[in-house]
Amino acid sequence: MSGEDPLGDALDGVAHLQAAGLELIAAARSFLDAAEATLADPDQARRAAAALAAVVGAYLEAQGRPGRGSRDDGAAGGGLRRVDIS
């Protein structure tokens, strides 16, 4: 970008945006292909869901919020509290 040719600079910017858009589309296609392959196999889909649940649980624990396996889901912090009915 030279700053001396506004039209040339604008066209250069549009070309960069077009290239970035095409890269984004290619990345989305790759992600969707991987997601489709994962969901086509029920065992692999279960493993992926379990891995995602583990990541979310670890994130919640790191944030100081009890995860799903905890018996006290935030009662001390004013959040929801798990109550066993049995």
Which range, of 6-10, 26-30, 32-36, 62-66, averages the lowest pLDDT? 62-66
Rounded to whole angstroms, how far apart are CA atoms 6 and 23? Answer: 26
Please say if the pLDDT value at position 77 is more than 90: no
Instruction: For the chain, report the end-to-end CA distance as a whole number of angstroms.
Output: 70
Q: Select the more confidently predicted residue: 86 or 28.
A: 28
Closest to 38 measured CA to CA, from 47, 29, 25 = 47
* pLDDT above 60 for 75: no
pLDDT of residue 85: 86
**pTM of the predicted model, to two decimals?**
0.48
